Structures are given as structure tokens and as C-alpha cells.
Structure 1
Amino acid sequence: MRYRFYLIGLSLWLAACNSGGDKKTGSSSDSLTIREKYATSPVSDAKTAISQMAVEKGLEVQLVAAEPLVTVPVAMTFDEKGRMWVVEMTGYMPDTVGTGEDIPNGKIVILEDTNQDGVADKRTVFIDSLVLPRAICLVENGILIAEPPKLSFIEINNDKPGKRTLVDDKYTEGGNVEHQPNGLLRAMDNWIYNAKSDKRYRKVGNKWVKELTHFRGQWGISQDNYGRLFYNNNSENVLGDYFPAGLGAHNPQQKNVSGYDEKIVADNRVYPARATTGVNRGYMKGTLNDSLRLVNMTAACSPLVYRGALLGKAYDNNIFVAEPSGNLIKRNIIKDSGYIVKGQQAYAHQEFLTSTDERFRPVSLYDGPDGSLYVLDMYRGIIQHKTYLTPYLKNEIKSRNLTNPLNCGRIYRIVPAGTHPRATIIENDPAHLLALLSNPNGWLRDKAQQMIIDHHYTTLVPALRALLQQKDSLYTQAHALWTLEGLGALQITDVMVLLHQANPYAQVQGLAALPAVINAANGKAVLSELALMQKNVFLAPYVALLLPALPTQLHTEVEQLKMQLVEAYANDPYVADAVINSMAGKEIELQQRLKNWNPDTTLVLAKRLKRVIKDIENHRKASMDESLQKTYPRGAVLFKTVCQTCHGADGDGIQSLAPPLNQSEIVTGDKHKLAAIVLFGLTGPVTVAGKQYKAPEISGDMPGIGSNDEFSDKDIAEVLSYIRGAWSNRAAKVVEKDIQEVRKQYKGRQKSFTIGELK
């Protein structure tokens, strides 16, 4: 009876928060009925869980592994034996306050199908005693393991860990579990890329190399058949790069480079099969519809470019996105228009896969060696991390007992109905691997390339060069090209084979590989080629992105090419940003040269250059010295943990995530209003330094941390004092009493503020 009264009260409270929605639908009683229907959240075994799923007609979901063979899977990869190496994040959110998250109970396990019936039946623990591990990648004779804050390489000796090498002791700097680097995608260009990160890695001989690249995404990263990268954040469907991953990141003062971190699919709507009241902001107007179902993405993750071929041609190059808060998987159809990549949702008002089981939590999607689409399901109630957990969601978790159990986890595959794929074993034979470079399954092509490189099969170099001549298969050519690059055998003549083709996508592959082979000796010949190619509108941005890689010995010729690009494409945002990218530290010089040629300040290049120069000046004025960190040590730590991952270490914001804190009137203004935002959150547009930021340029919502017991009022005061004194900000400190006064003023408040309310 008490539970019914709770439902009635919560239903009326929801109605009030939704500003009169009941008048239109009479939904107070409807909401109660829906809530009663989903009042409990029973735990289903894996087979029952599949019966609660609906997938597109003609396909079916098959079970590959379930507890106790696997628990809390969050990432995986396949080896050449068809075995799954799975990351188990066992310690994630044992309860609503994260009790015991620091216990070393995470594992990397190997799952194997020994009897070839399509279901894993053998579990081998490769390594245990890890704290919240999050990503892995097989390389040569070992495995990269991301265990915050470290990235380590561990040799594999008969499925047991051997020598350990520390690759990066700051793989994750700050951030909580939801906002730390992950992915470790071994891409076509032989570099390993990450989501929620601006770093990439590569093993060269016995050494690991780390480079800065573009900041990308939040959880999960994927590549298409051309090696372009795709990613997203929790409120955006698909983001990605138009241009090669290795280009365009040479100017650290340039925050955004057109063609990178672009919105590929702007439609973020979702269509769950059940009421999804258990989302962090379910109390806010517009978060749920009249059926109490999620309206827009709130936990989008792991975008996957499907390249497996098994599902059929209609699915090739589709991008699938997991949405664990909505208990669904979305399908998007992607198309190229020149070098611009755009897409749309595959269906109107429905999804590729949905479940009526609230505990179905798909968090990672993968292509498999058998061509299947693999789904990792954490299968649990709590999916939101404690840092941003609202009182509303805590109540949802309590009311349906979503905390337990904690020992579940499933791996599924999606296949054509009636098919029964078996583990695909790749023979470690040079000739066999060479043939796989032409396989329709992109996963197999990737793995063949990696194995040839890892085993240093240089005897294949002549055959790889022969594959470059097969103009009827661009995918084969691309893999042959990058396999040569990975072997250290790529030559300028190999690249020229692609540059001289009529297919512009082949030419792009050649351009992307040029930095590996261009030098002073061949530079003039290459520059002559580029001078001709820049006249092609499609190829011009790629040529401009290559400017930083051109030999310094040919300064005069390079500058001539640069001015040709400027004069022809000063109003092209892609070329303009690429040219600025090539002028790190020489932006003023470029500005003067531009004025000498054309003083028109409305040119795209002029406007973008002005913005970068202003950012540089702001950085010069910035003050992030050690004294500030010594004054507010706890504030500095909380900034890195809670704020930096969205607003940037420099306080200048991160595209697609959050606006600047540096020079923000909100940060430096009324400290009580700032405290209210941090405690309760902020939703909707916000203006910083005269510019309005709103979705989809940034996430439309910033969650509050006022209900997080981990942070005291003194802690919150410190972090606010820290950001009010950081960079170019010069505002008065915040004290514990200020936070207490704001809590008292808004006692009982649940929902986020809007800027309008605060004014």
C-alpha cells in the first residue's frame, strides 16, 4: 500500500514538473498505470532476456556467453584463434554511492568455444586484481591494458601475463569512470586511437610512441573502410572525421579544425520499447514523453561502423549506436557527399533492437571475425556513475531494487535468422594473410594487416605492391598500402600509384600516407603533384592538411603552395582551418600575408584566424600556476575529476561537450548563482563572452553534483574558488558558508536551473 502511495505522489510530482502536460493527455492516471506495469524489474536469465528483445525482421539475437562465464563485460577484442578477450569492470557502481569501486576485482578473461557450437564454454583468467579496467588491444606478442591512470603493455606467454611495460602513466588524467579515455582502436593507419582523449599510440620496434591528435568522443570509437574515425558522446548520435585521422592536429592553439569532430547524424531521438523512468533526469520536462519513455539520447555510446558483410549489403557501412539507458541499439545509414559524411536514422519511430528488460545495458558493439555484430551487455540496474547521480534516479534504483545483482553479464551476436556462425580461426601463414586483405569482412582485413605487421612478414612486400595495382578493389589497395607502411617498406613510388588514379578516394589514401615517405630528396616531385591536386575542390582540403608534413628544406616551394591554397579557397572553412593548422606559432605572420593579398575581414580564413589569435592572447593572460593549486589542493583535484573532462584543461570548453569556463560571466559573476548551477545542474543555452552555446554545439545539460555524498560543501567551495581564479578569471573566492546558504535557499529542489531562472 505504501508503494502505491509513493507511485501516486511521484506521478503527481512528475506531472507538476512537466508543466501541465496532463491537461493535454490526462496522463496522471496514465503515468500511474505505466509505473505500476513497470513497478518491478525482475532479473531474467540470458535466454529469457533474448525473448524480451525485438530485432529487425530477418535477423536474430544469439547468446554467446553469460554469467558465470562472464560478468560485467565492458570491452573486448578477438584474437586470431577466434577467442574473445574480455574486460570485466566488476567494481563499477556496486551501489548508489559507489562503495568499493577502488577494490581490485577487475579482470581480463579469455572466452573460448571449444566444442564449436557457437557458444563460449571455457573461461581463462589472463590477469586479475585490476581496478576498473576499461580497454584492451592486442599488439604483436602482447596486450595493451588501460587501467586508470595507466596504460600498460603486457607480454602474453601461453595465455599468461609476462613482462609488463608502462606505456603511459597518464593515460587518464583526472575524470571519473564515465569520462576517462578508452577504446584503444588499432586503426588502418597502424596507430591506436582512443575516445575521450587526444592521444594516439604506436609500437615502433621495442619502443612505444605517443602523439597528440584530435580530441574525440566519450565511450567507444570505430573506423570505416577508408580508415575514417567515428565516435560520439552520451547525448549525440554519431560524430566523426571527414579527413584522415593522422592529419590536422599540428596547431595546439587551434581548438577546432573543420572536418574533425563533425556531427554525422544530428538526429538524437530514441524510441524505447518500454517506460524508461530510470534515467538520471527523468523528472525534467522533455526527458520522457507521455508514455514515460526516453525522448533523446542520454547514454549513447560505442558507435560501430558495421563492416562484417554477414548481415547483408543493406547493412554495410551502417553505424550502430548503443543506448543502455533506453535499452536499445540504434541503426544509422551513412552516405558521402564529396568529402562530407552525413547520415540519418534508418527508421522512423523505431529502432534496430529494443528490449523490454530494464537491465539490458548494451555498452559496447563490435564487428566479429565471423561477420556477426557483437553486443556486450553489462546486464545490471545501475548504469549512471555516482558523480552525477540525481536524487530522482537514486529513488528509482531503490524503488525497483536495481542495485543487485552485480554478477551478471552477457555477450550476444546478431546474425541472419537461421544462421549459426562458428569461431573463425585465422591461419598464421603469410599467403593466407595476404589473401585475407581482399576479404569482404572488414574485421578480417584489419586482422590480416595487423598479423602481417606483427610477424614482420617482409617477404610479402612484392606481393603487397602487386595488390596496389588492383584498381578494381579500393579496400584491398588501402590495406596493401598501410600494410607496407606498417612494415616500414612503403616507398614514394607506392604512394604515387594511388595518387595517379582517377578514383579520388584512392588518391586520398595516398595523400594520407605521404607523411611516411616524403623527404627532401623526393619533395619537389611531390610538391608538383600537390600543386596540381589542389586545383581539385575535392582534394584541396587534404592537400592543405598535408602542409605541416612537407620538408622544411623546400620552404619556398611549400609557401608558394600555401598561398595558392589561400588565394583559391579563402572562403572554404576546411581549407582555411587546414592552412591555420600549418602555421602554429606563426598565426600573426599568416594574418599579415592574408591582409596584403586581400584585406577583406569577412573572408572565412580571416575570421577563423582572428579567433585563433584571440585564443592565443587569452592563453598568454591565463594563470594556472602552482600557487593556485597549492591554495586550493582539493579544488584542483576535483576540477580534474569532475570539470576538466568536459570543459577542458585550459577551461576553454570542448566542442560537442561543454562551453568555456575561462572568461565566463557565469563563473566570475554572482558566486551564489554559480554554486546553484554546480549543486543542481544547468540546462539549455548559455552565453559566454558574448557567444551563445546551445545543443548540438554543446551538450544541452550539465548535471549537478550537490547530491553526491563524496563531495563536501567545503570541497565544492574549493573547486569553485579554483575555477574563479584560474586562467584569465579573477573573481573572489567561495567559502563553505556560501554553499550552505544556496542549499538552504533551494532546499528540496530536484531539477536543473536554466539561465533564465537564475536571472
Structure 2
Amino acid sequence: MKNWTLFLAAAYWLSACTSPGPAKDQHADSTAMRQKLGPSPVLDAKTAISHMQVEKGLEIQLVASEPLITTPVAMTFDDKGRMWVVEMMGYMPDTVGTGEDVPNGKVVILEDTTHDGIADTRKVLLDSLILPRAICLVPGGFLLAEPPKLWFVPVKNDIAGKRILVDDKYTEGGNVEHQPNGLLRAMDNWIYNAKSDKRYRQINGKWVKQDTHFRGQWGISQDNFGRLYSNNNSENVLGDYFPPGLGARNPNQKSIAGYDEKIVPDNRVYPIHPTPGVNRGYMKGVLDDSLRLVEMTAACSPLVYRGGLLGKEYNNNIFVAEPCGNLIKRNIIQDSGYIVKGRQAYQKKEFLASDDERFRPVSLYDAPDGALYIVDMYRGIIQHKTYLTPYLKDEIKSRKLTNPLNCGRIYRVVPAGAKIRPMALDNNPDKLFALLENPNGWIRDKAQQMIIDHHYTQLIPHLKERLHQEGNTYGAIHALWTLEGLGALQFSEIEFLLHQKNPYLQAAAIAALPSVKAPAATALLTSLEENVFLAPYIALVLPYLPNSADLQTKLMTRYANDRYVADAIINNNAGKESQLLTQLIQINSDTTIAMRRHLEAIIKDIENHRKAKMTDALVKEYPRGAKLFANICQTCHGKDGDGIKSLAPPLNQSQLVTGDKKRLISIVLYGLTGPIDVNGKHYKAPEISADMPGIGSNDEYNDQDIAEVLSFIRNCWSNQGSKVTDKDIQEIRKKYKGRQKPFTIEELN
């Protein structure tokens, strides 16, 4: 349970950092360590580059720094090559978060007017924002995430108009470390998010919000086929095997095979200097003998590099930022059929690493010039106050990490000696059409978006013709989705692609099927159902096909033990799981096949939810508890209390919740470390985070608050437990006075 909390990536986030403080015998060691290391000096941007090591043959160039930019957390490029940057100036001004609610966040445009590769002008587009976190350029303006709301901000001649509310529940609950972000405008023309299960799109002038798969924590990226990648604070790379718009139809299904898969399971990191300033640095195994971080604790912003400038060996690599280790990791990714797997590029070294503790890479980006861009928040404090341990507070104080708060840098990685100039796209239909073939994935994406945004319908014949030409697979896929975005895609184009031998074109065609009227699609896909590669894709689009019952039966008969096909079929049958199980037993009575096991588990969960007691009366009885649950617990344990994959185990029907309340109080006050058993299942890293931090040292919550949230979860869902009082909390505090380290389950038992 390592950090039910997630660290707002990068700079705040990603629980770099979470968990309780040190034991007394360990505190002496940490004191000696601090004395040895001393304060962490503030370096100017150019000096900071000299403290970085990057892969041979490449170099790091400065693009912008303070005072031109301050506390950047996210950015995007426009068609002129300008950077639109989000500044989160209010994040953690000190260890208690004084002034976080001050409206001092901004959106600014940085431009290189002298064409020397360095930004030289700053234009404030929008100010007076509270902790803004994401931006996405769309027709007529941009989307802006300012929790809890998602805004559309119209822009004309670089002047922002009156904001228009798109979603007043873009974030629901969660503290600053646990709220949606990303706003990735993906290849399928929908806008996806990290730490979220929602996607957005403007259709006929109205913003539409749809359910999708829950993904990641901070940052989201796509590859050349439109598959999405994310991660969480302690996991290197997670991602999808299949198209993002499919497979999210059944709310009874906690997860579906082929989505949110572990792409790179190796989470080791190799800092080039001691990194004691992490929240759990006092715990055994977090740091090695040289006081360097051993595994990821603040992983964020996975980026599929598609720029082409660095060289072909870097194309389609996935880079991951780790601000607590002051480094950026490189991963090599390969396809095996529809399965995507990867490995770290190096052993015992990193793509980029710094010995400057204030180097905090929080977001990574592809760019129009082909370089790899790095947003560096450059600050000492990155852990949010909710889970800031006494150990890390001591580190911050003794090593003077609180100030300054007005720094921030943007760098890029390029071939050594490269001269980079701003790259603009000519808003000319024919030129944009040609750019769909460009080797730079950012340019292909932007060309597709500009054709759609400007309604260049005169290109429709050329786009259709392009699908019939051999050559660049990426160009053909972009032509397909550009037609979809223009509302001009027809079944004839999909039918043509499905008859090609290129599996990526076939997969893209199936992914686009929901966008067209296709009465003949069922017969066509039935003729392809024996194709093992296409079978999961076919299963995922069954709900969009007319008269598909016979095709579903064929797939069940042939692939009932294939977890990808099985989960896709289950996903299509929300509310009909029992009937589906009856049909399956008639086809195949084997109790061990994947589809049977998955169906029975879901039916059991549905029955448990029917017994749920999370009523309005309970929220009314414990209003503060319900609010704290939403802000602290829900983001890792789930709104339904059933846990979240890769983060935390269930609270619903957990003996740790409903059992001895003294044990539960001890966990919440001081934390829990190591593997545990819940509902007969063994949970350990990396299936979940390894440690859960305590909140007993957080002055933001008093004993009555903690008692309320514990009483709330002990009686939510199917739970039945006695009430917890503030007196109960005080007794445990008294019993364990002076304790700061987390419990193990053995101690509690």
C-alpha cells in the first residue's frame, strides 16, 4: 500500500514521498546524514545544466527560466511553435501549505521572437487561478483544468475571453495530489486525462463527457497507433494494448484485460547523488547504502517520444520523469502481437540525471521541432502537506529547501551541437495534408487537428484516396482519423482497410467502426473472427454492430479461455452477467476457463454491492467523515471502497476496517507497511503500492475528524462496525506516544 496518495506528479506528487516518520534510533542517522550533506544550494539555470548528465551524443539546452517562467507544471505548443504554459504558483509555499488557496496561478505564452532557440517574451493570457494543472488547445481557445472545474477559455488575438464552464465535476474529491490532469487530445479526436475515467469532445458545438478507463496519476501520452500510456508514482509505465475508446461499458467490471497493463515492470532508479529528501527516506530499503533512492516513488509524465530528432534508436521509446530522484528514465518498447512490453534502456544508469536536488522534472513533451522538452518546477518542497512526514519536514528545514518559490525552467534534449529554431505550421490545407506523413508525430497530430478544426472538407477526397495507397502506415492511420473528425468516414473505407494484411491498419479500422453506420459490418467481422490478432478488437466493438448475437456466440465458443476476448465480451454485457454465464456454461462447462472465472467474480461483486449501505443518511450522520473520505481515501481505495488496481486494496468487507477499531486507528495514525491479506487475498507490491502513510502528524485533521472518517468507512458499503470516537483516537495516541514509524501487519496482529 505504498502511498495511497499519489503525488501530483512531479512536483507534488507522486507520493514521493509518503509515509510516516522515522523511529528514534533512525533519527540519529538521519541527523548525521543531514549534517554531512548540508543545505541544497539554488543554482541558476545555466549552472544547473552543468550538473546534469545525459546520454552520449545528446545535450541539454535551456529554453526558458525565471523570471520569464515561474513554477511551471504543464504546457503545450501551438501551430506557431509558441509554448502555452501553466504556472501553479500556489503549490506548497511552506510545509503546512500556507496560502495554497491564493489565486495566483497563471497561463502564459512564451515565444522566441529572435529565433535563437530561447524564449524571450512572456504574455500573461489568464491569471488569478487557484492551482491550475492542465491545458489543451481546441478550436477557438483552450481547455483549462482548475479543480474542481474544467473550463473552455475563448481566445482571439491572444486575448482571453470570458470562461465557459465545461464540467463542474472535472475533479470530484481528492487533494491536490489526486486530481485529474493531462487533457491529451488523442488520435481518435477525444481528449483523455490521467487520474480520471472521463474523456471529452466537442460535438455539434456542445462539450460531451463520456466514461472511459481509469488511467494513471500525472501525465498521459499516446504512441503512433493512438494507444495510451500512463503510470503512477511507484510504477514505471502502464498502458493499453487496445484503442482507448473501447471497453469501458460495464461499471460492474473493475478492470478489463488489455487496459492499464504493466508495460515496464522494472521500477528501479539510479540517481547520481544521495537523495535523502524523500518522504520515506528513513525506512529500510527506500534508500541504498549510499543514500540513493532504490525504486520509483514519484514517477510521472510518461512520454512516448515521437519527435524523430534524437535519432531512430530513440523513436517510440517511453521516457518517464522521477523528480524525487532528479532524473529522467528511458524505456524501450516492443509489440508482440497486440501485447506491448518494455524494458529499461540501461542497467544502473539513467538517460538524464542531475545532482541538483532542486531539479524537479514534472512533465515531458514532444514538440514541433522534434526535441524532447522538460518542464522543471525547480523547487525544494514537492510533497504535499497531507502526507508530509516529520522526517521530511526536518530535511526541508535543516537544508533550507522551502525557498525560493519563484523559480522554474524549461529545457530540451537535442543532438549535441544542434541549432534549434521555432517550428511553425502553415495553415494551408494542402500543406497540412502533406504533413500527415511527417516523421515527427507531434506534427502529424497537429496537422490532423488543424484540418479538423478549420473544417477543410475539400481534403476529403484526398484523405480517402490516401487510404488506398501503400506506404507510411502512420500517414494512413492519421488520414482515417482525420476523416472521422470531419464526419466524413464511411464504412467503405473501413471495409477496404479490413481487407489489408497490415494488422495495425485493420485494428485502426475496427476502432473507428463506432463512428460509422455499418449494417454490413457484422458479416464482415464474422468472416474475420478466426484471426487471433483481430479477435479482441472484434469483441470490443460488438455493441456497435447490428445483430451481433451469433458473432458473440462464435467468439465465446472459440476464445472463452482468452482473457482479452473474455473480458471484452463481459464488458459488453453490463447488467446481463448472469445470463451470459448461463450461456457460457451451455457452450463450455469447464469451471477453470478465464471467462467463467471472471464472470463469477463480477457476479459476486454485484451481489456485495446490492447489500451496500452507503446512504444519504450515513453521509448526513458523518458529513466531515464523508468529505475526508473523498479527499484522502477514495483516490486510492475507490469510491466504492473496492480498491484500485496498482494502488490500494479494498476497504469494503476488509477485516482491517470492520475488525478491532484500535488496530484501524493505529494504521490511520501511523501508517502500514508491507504485504497484507484482505478478504482472503494477498496484496503486495507491485500489485499495490507497498506502504500506506499515516496522517497522525498532520495538524490539518483533529481527532474528531479522524474518528468521523473511520466511523464512516466502518459502516459504508457492506461494512458493519462500531462507531469510533475522538476518545478512542486519543487513547491510541497516548499508547503509542512518540511513535512515528508505520506498523507492519505482524505488529498489529
For the superposition of Structure 1 and Structure 2, which TM-score range results when normalised by the shorter chain?
over 0.9
Query: What CA distance in whole angstroms lies between the structure 2 residues aligned with 1:703 and 1:199?
Result: 28
Once structures 1 and 2 are overlaid, which stretch shifts more, 251-260 or 742-751?
742-751
Give the aligned partner of residue 607 of structure 2: 617
Give the aligned partner of residue 116 of structure 1: 115
Question: 2:177 matched to 1:178?
Answer: yes
Give the aligned partner of residue 726 of structure 2: 736
8 Å Cα contact 2:23/2:739 also seen in 1: no
Question: 2:679 matched to 1:689?
Answer: yes
Query: What CA distance in whole angstroms lies between the structure 2 residues aligned with 1:36 and 1:738?
Result: 39
1:320-374 alpha-carbon deviations (Å, 9 max, x no partner): 0000000000000000111110100000000001100000000000001000000
Query: What CA distance in whole angstroms lies between the structure 1 residues aligned with 2:731 and 2:94?
Result: 29
Give the aligned partner of residue 337 of structure 1: 336
Give the aligned partner of residue 365 of structure 1: 364
User: 1:543: Cα distance to partner?
Assistant: 0.7
Give the aligned partner of residue 223 of structure 1: 222
1:666-685 to structure 2, matched below 5 A, reads 666-685=656-675
Partner-residue secondary structure (3-state), 1:60: strand
User: 1:149: Cα distance to partner?
Assistant: 0.2
Amino acid in the other structure paired with 1:528: A
Give the aligned partner of residue 461 of structure 1: 460
Once structures 1 and 2 are overlaid, which stretch shifts more, 174-183 or 33-42?
33-42
RMSD of equivalent CA atoms: 1.3
User: 1:205: Cα distance to partner?
Assistant: 2.4
Give the aligned partner of residue 144 of structure 1: 143
Q: CA distance change for structure 1 residues 230 and 190 in 2, over 3 Å: closer, same or farther?
A: same
Query: What CA distance in whole angstroms lies between the structure 2 residues aligned with 1:685 and 1:281?
Result: 17
Give the aligned partner of residue 278 of structure 1: 277
Query: What CA distance in whole angstroms lies between the structure 2 residues aligned with 1:316 and 1:34?
Result: 41
Query: What CA distance in whole angstroms lies between the structure 2 residues aligned with 1:328 and 1:38?
Result: 19
Give the aligned partner of residue 541 of structure 1: 536
Give the aligned partner of residue 596 of structure 1: 586
8 Å Cα contact 2:39/2:401 also seen in 1: no
8 Å Cα contact 2:240/2:261 also seen in 1: yes
User: 1:700: Cα distance to partner?
Assistant: 1.2
Once structures 1 and 2 are overlaid, which stretch shifts more, 429-438 or 748-757?
748-757
Give the aligned partner of residue 82 of structure 2: 83
Give the aligned partner of residue 722 of structure 1: 712
Query: What CA distance in whole angstroms lies between the structure 1 residues aligned with 2:464 and 2:217?
Result: 38
Query: What CA distance in whole angstroms lies between the structure 2 residues aligned with 1:232 and 1:533?
Result: 34
Give the aligned partner of residue 697 of structure 2: 707
Q: CA distance change for structure 1 residues 511 and 282 in 2, over 3 Å: closer, same or farther?
A: same
Q: CA distance change for structure 1 residues 127 and 144 in 2, over 3 Å: closer, same or farther?
A: same
8 Å Cα contact 2:373/2:410 also seen in 1: yes
Once structures 1 and 2 are overlaid, which stretch shifts more, 282-291 or 34-43?
34-43
Give the aligned partner of residue 246 of structure 1: 245
User: 1:708: Cα distance to partner?
Assistant: 1.2
Between the two structures, name the one with larger relative contact order (CA 8 Å, sep ≥ 6).
Answer: 2
Of 648, 660, 666 in structure 1, the residue corresponding to residue 638 of structure 2 is 648
Query: What CA distance in whole angstroms lies between the structure 2 residues aligned with 1:751 and 1:472?
Result: 60
Partner-residue secondary structure (3-state), 1:722: helix
8 Å Cα contact 1:308/1:440 also seen in 2: yes
Question: 2:616 matched to 1:626?
Answer: yes
Question: 2:659 matched to 1:664?
Answer: no
Query: What CA distance in whole angstroms lies between the structure 2 residues aligned with 1:348 and 1:372?
Result: 24
Partner-residue secondary structure (3-state), 2:596: helix
Once structures 1 and 2 are overlaid, which stretch shifts more, 300-309 or 495-504?
495-504
User: 1:32: Cα distance to partner?
Assistant: 8.1
8 Å Cα contact 1:34/1:275 also seen in 2: no
Amino acid in the other structure paired with 2:171: T
Give the aligned partner of residue 7 of structure 1: none
Query: What CA distance in whole angstroms lies between the structure 1 residues aligned with 2:162 and 2:486?
Result: 24
Partner-residue secondary structure (3-state), 1:98: coil
1:276-333 alpha-carbon deviations (Å, 9 max, x no partner): 1000000111000000000000000000000000000000000000000000000000
User: 1:16: Cα distance to partner?
Assistant: 4.7
8 Å Cα contact 2:321/2:329 also seen in 1: yes
User: 1:163: Cα distance to partner?
Assistant: 3.6
Give the aligned partner of residue 268 of structure 2: 269
Which structure has greater helix proportion?
A: 1
User: 1:531: Cα distance to partner?
Assistant: 1.1
Of 553, 559, 568 in structure 1, the residue corresponding to residue 549 of structure 2 is 559
Give the aligned partner of residue 6 of structure 2: none
Query: What CA distance in whole angstroms lies between the structure 1 residues aligned with 2:672 and 2:466?
Result: 55
Amino acid in the other structure paired with 1:526: A
Once structures 1 and 2 are overlaid, which stretch shifts more, 737-746 or 305-314?
737-746
User: 1:34: Cα distance to partner?
Assistant: 6.1
8 Å Cα contact 1:714/1:736 also seen in 2: yes
1:560-617 alpha-carbon deviations (Å, 9 max, x no partner): 1111111101111111101100111100100111112222211111000001101111
1:192-211 to structure 2, matched below 5 A, reads 192-211=191-210
1:650-698 alpha-carbon deviations (Å, 9 max, x no partner): 1111111111111111000111111111111112212111111111111
Query: What CA distance in whole angstroms lies between the structure 2 residues aligned with 1:739 and 1:159?
Result: 55
Amino acid in the other structure paired with 1:369: P
Query: What CA distance in whole angstroms lies between the structure 2 residues aligned with 1:651 and 1:483?
Result: 41
User: 1:36: Cα distance to partner?
Assistant: 4.4
Give the aligned partner of residue 570 of structure 1: 560
Query: What CA distance in whole angstroms lies between the structure 1 residues aligned with 2:616 and 2:34?
Result: 52
Give the aligned partner of residue 3 of structure 1: none
TM-score using structure 2 length: 0.96
Query: What CA distance in whole angstroms lies between the structure 1 residues aligned with 2:718 and 2:24?
Result: 43
User: 1:35: Cα distance to partner?
Assistant: 4.5
Query: What CA distance in whole angstroms lies between the structure 1 residues aligned with 2:587 and 2:337?
Result: 29
8 Å Cα contact 2:34/2:398 also seen in 1: no
8 Å Cα contact 2:521/2:545 also seen in 1: no
Amino acid in the other structure paired with 2:144: I
User: 1:517: Cα distance to partner?
Assistant: 0.7
8 Å Cα contact 2:72/2:85 also seen in 1: yes
8 Å Cα contact 2:23/2:740 also seen in 1: no
8 Å Cα contact 1:465/1:494 also seen in 2: yes
Amino acid in the other structure paired with 2:131: L
8 Å Cα contact 1:17/1:285 also seen in 2: no
Once structures 1 and 2 are overlaid, which stretch shifts more, 628-637 or 529-538?
529-538
User: 1:206: Cα distance to partner?
Assistant: 1.2
> Alignment identity in percent?
70
Query: What CA distance in whole angstroms lies between the structure 2 residues aligned with 1:65 and 1:205?
Result: 39
8 Å Cα contact 1:34/1:291 also seen in 2: no
TM-score using structure 1 length: 0.95
Partner-residue secondary structure (3-state), 2:229: strand
8 Å Cα contact 1:372/1:415 also seen in 2: yes
Query: What CA distance in whole angstroms lies between the structure 1 residues aligned with 2:68 and 2:131?
Result: 19
Query: What CA distance in whole angstroms lies between the structure 1 residues aligned with 2:691 and 2:431?
Result: 51
Give the aligned partner of residue 747 of structure 1: 737
8 Å Cα contact 1:301/1:322 also seen in 2: yes
User: 1:538: Cα distance to partner?
Assistant: 1.0
Q: How many residues align?
A: 728
Amino acid in the other structure paired with 1:458: T
1:80-113 alpha-carbon deviations (Å, 9 max, x no partner): 0110000000000000010100000000000000
Query: What CA distance in whole angstroms lies between the structure 1 residues aligned with 2:386 and 2:39?
Result: 26
8 Å Cα contact 2:236/2:299 also seen in 1: yes
List alignment gaps of at least 5 residues for structure 1: 1-12, 19-27
> Any runs of at least 4 consecutive aligned residues in structure 1 with deviations exceeding 4 A, and if so which?
13-18, 31-37
User: 1:37: Cα distance to partner?
Assistant: 4.7
Partner-residue secondary structure (3-state), 1:326: coil
Once structures 1 and 2 are overlaid, which stretch shifts more, 83-92 or 531-540?
531-540
8 Å Cα contact 2:23/2:741 also seen in 1: no
User: 1:497: Cα distance to partner?
Assistant: 2.1
8 Å Cα contact 2:104/2:127 also seen in 1: yes
